[in-house]
Amino acid sequence: MRPPVAASRTVAPSSSSRRADPLQVPQGVKTMSSTITALFDNRADAEAAKARLKSARVDADHVHLHDKSSTGYKDSGYSTHQDRGFWDSIKNAFVPDEDRHTYEEGVRRGGVLLTADVDDDCVDEAVKVLEGANTVDIDDRSSQWKSSGWDYAGAGAGLSAMSGTDRTDRTDLGEREEVIPIVEEQLVVGKRDVNRGGVRVRSYVTEKPVHEQIRLRNEQINVERRTVDQPLSAADSDAFRERTIDMTATGEEAVVGKTARVVEEVVVSKTATENVEDVSDTVRRTDVEIDRDTDVETRTDGTFGTTGKKPL
């Protein structure tokens, strides 16, 4: 599965227009850089991605957008190594034929292709910025097109028929040179937030009956008439005076009151942990095998041996 944003590595000379580093690269010394490519459904998304790339302070040169108005665009057919179409303006992009043709099909269907030259130490950051900018998943989109009738196999057959002439041939003063680009994929691992589940805590009020006992005191007035037979004493000289006796009875009744107290707390919180996960995948690389005849004189730049069969 290819990532939505692809990067191809190339050796490019350092440019004075790039951001100055604490350790200056001597003039003429070549540094490693990569060309990243990303497809968008419309120009608005592509322009927004370009702005995000610049605002992220990524050391990126030659950020370009390619659509139907770009020089070299074709309404039909696909680019070859001789006729590169609008790829001719992207000097350092070495993209496999199928990926290149898929991007061309995306542009033909109204999409916009973004390309940018990025130093190798900034590639991961640039890819992360673009992956969060509504980029098109090339594998998924290619599958959708094929399921709806896109005949890429027919285009591939035409490419196979031209395989003998697709490589760049140059004849100058009797010399012939054939160029085979060495393409290498890089594994880009990113991360995204996913939902791992959650918890909901809800509080509500319930009522329950309670029963308490209390001792109450009540008074009662008793009126009793008793028979008495005794002589009247001197102290009772005013016995024939009218008198009134008032007596009041009191009692107690229960009074209900309520008080509220905090008896418990429910605390909801979350903690974050980090772990290192190993991600394994495969990347592709173009290898070249050289088979030389021992009686043929050859000239090398020190990369290959003079005879034998060796992979590049």
Question: HEC string of the chain?
Answer: CCCCCEEEEEEEECCCCCCCCCCCCCCCCEEEEEEEEEEECCHHHHHHHHHHHHHCCCCEEEEEEECCCCCCCCCCCCCCCCCCHHHHHCCCCCCCHHHHHHHHHHHHCCCEEEEEEEEHHHHHHHHHHHHCCCCCCHHHHHHHHHHCCCCHHHHHHHHHHCHHHHCEEEEECCEEEEECCCCECCCCCCCCCCCCCCCCCCCCCCCCCCCCCCCCCECCCCCCCCCCCCCCCHHHCCCCCCCCCCCCCCECCCCCCCCCCCCCCCCCCCCCCCCCCCCCCCCCECCCEEEECCCCCCCCCCCCCCCEEEEC
Structure tokens at 143: 């599958």
Residue of 41, 83, 93, 42 whose CA lies nearest to 63: 93
Residue of 35, 185, 41, 8 whose CA lies nearest to 113: 41
| Four-residue CA torsion sign, 100, 102, 105, 110 | negative
Q: Give the other-Cβ count within 10 Å of 192's Cβ.
A: 6
Residue 100 one-letter amino acid: R
Tens-place pLDDT, residues 238-294: 777 788 889 999 999 989 888 999 999 999 998 989 889 898 889 888 888 887 766
Question: Could you tell me how far CA 48 lies from the centroid of its own chain?
Answer: 17
Give yes or no for a contact between 167 and 177, defined as CB atoms under 8 angstroms apart. no
Rounded average pLDDT over 287-304? 65
Question: Could you tell me how far CA 296 lies from the centroid of its own chain?
Answer: 55
Q: Give the other-Cβ count within 10 Å of 116's Cβ.
A: 25
Dist CA 148 CA 154 (whole Å): 15
Tens-place pLDDT, residues 151-204: 765 444 434 333 433 433 333 445 667 788 888 988 888 888 888 888 999 999
113 confidence band (pLDDT: 50, 70, 90): very high
Cα-based distances in Å from 149 to 153, 154, 156, 225: 11, 11, 15, 121
Dist CA 239 CA 230 (whole Å): 13
Residue 249, C-beta contacts closer than 8 angstroms, at least 6 positions apart: 218, 219, 220, 221
Length of the chain in terms of residues written: 312
Q: Give the other-Cβ count within 10 Å of 168's Cβ.
A: 13
Tens-place pLDDT, residues 3-56: 566 555 443 333 333 333 333 334 444 456 778 888 999 999 988 888 888 887
pLDDT value at position 59?
61
pTM: 0.43
| Four-residue CA torsion sign, 231, 234, 236, 240 | positive
Q: Find the range with the poorest average confidence among 10-14, 129-133, 145-149, 277-281.
A: 10-14
Residue, of 218 and 32, whose pLDDT is higher = 218
Dist CA 184 CA 285 (whole Å): 4
Taking each helix axis from N to C end, the angle separating 138-147 and 97-108, rounded to the nearest 10 degrees, works out to 70
Residue of 121, 244, 230 whose CA lies nearest to 186: 121
Structure tokens at 85: 């179409």
Percent of the chain with pLDDT over 90: 11
